[in-house]
């Protein structure tokens, strides 16, 4: 697994990613170049897109960047930044290709879900304005008509395991709608009710 290194504020900083993600790793390092040296303090949490990076000072004085294990079942932070790099790239690509203004949605922000929709192949994803703290405004529901089943609130990063194709669209603004069929995005509607083309958007890799 490639390790990209750079000396920042006199400190050797390392970012580890899968092959092909070195440009994203360099982007993470450039972010820290633009921040004050205090950003490299051990344990400092730096928000990056939907996720976050935390420097960990090593015994030799160098720094390894870590990220939450959003795709796993552990609360630990990991040195493999591949998932953070992929998600950030997908979300940037979605916003650019669909031509909409991004709206923040952090990995920890809650999504209201119809429980059965977490395992269903055909679902819709709709965002509404909200003032509720830590609420993304997103709702995940079944496309088949019928009475609503039990509902839950889950962190947005849960979608990485249940419906990874939707993660790319989390930054769409209020009143956006995404349709998923057979695990693939088949339609995207913008806040003005215009149809956007998912064919030009990202895919989860």
**Do 128 and 176 form a contact (C-beta atoms < 8 A)?**
no
**Do 155 and 111 form a contact (C-beta atoms < 8 A)?**
yes
Alpha carbon distance 192, 70 (integer Å) = 32
Local confidence pLDDT in tens for the 205 residues of the chain: 789 999 999 999 999 999 999 999 999 999 999 999 999 999 999 999 999 999 999 999 999 999 998 877 566 899 999 999 999 999 999 999 888 999 999 999 999 999 999 999 999 999 999 999 999 999 999 998 776 789 999 999 999 999 999 999 999 999 999 999 998 999 999 887 677 765 444 444 4
The SS3 call for residue 9 is coil
Alpha carbon distance 169, 95 (integer Å) = 8
């Amino acid at each position: 697994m490639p390790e990209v290194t750079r000396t920042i504020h006199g400190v050797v900083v390392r970012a580890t990613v899968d092959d092909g993600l070195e440009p994203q790793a360099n982007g993470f390092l450039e972010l820290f170049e633009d921040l004050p040296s205090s950003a490299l303090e051990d344990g400092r949490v730096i928000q990056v897109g939907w996720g976050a990076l935390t420097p960990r000072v090593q015994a030799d004085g160098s720094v390894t960047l870590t990220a939450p294990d959003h795709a796993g079942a552990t609360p630990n932070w990991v040195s493999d930044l591949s998932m953070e790099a992929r998600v950030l790239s997908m979300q940037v690509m979605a916003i650019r290709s669909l031509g909409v203004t991004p709206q923040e949605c952090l990995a920890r922000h809650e999504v209201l879900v119809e429980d059965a929709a977490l395992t269903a192949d055909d679902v819709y994803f709709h965002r509404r304005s909200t003032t509720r703290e830590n609420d993304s405004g997103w709702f995940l529901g079944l496309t088949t008509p019928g009475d609503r089943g039990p509902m839950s609130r889950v962190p947005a990063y849960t979608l990485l395991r249940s419906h990874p194709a939707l993660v790319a669209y989390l930054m769409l603004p209020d009143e956006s709608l995404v349709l998923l069929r057979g695990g693939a995005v088949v339609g995207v509607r913008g806040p003005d009710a215009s149809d956007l083309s998912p064919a030009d958007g990202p895919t989860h890799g």
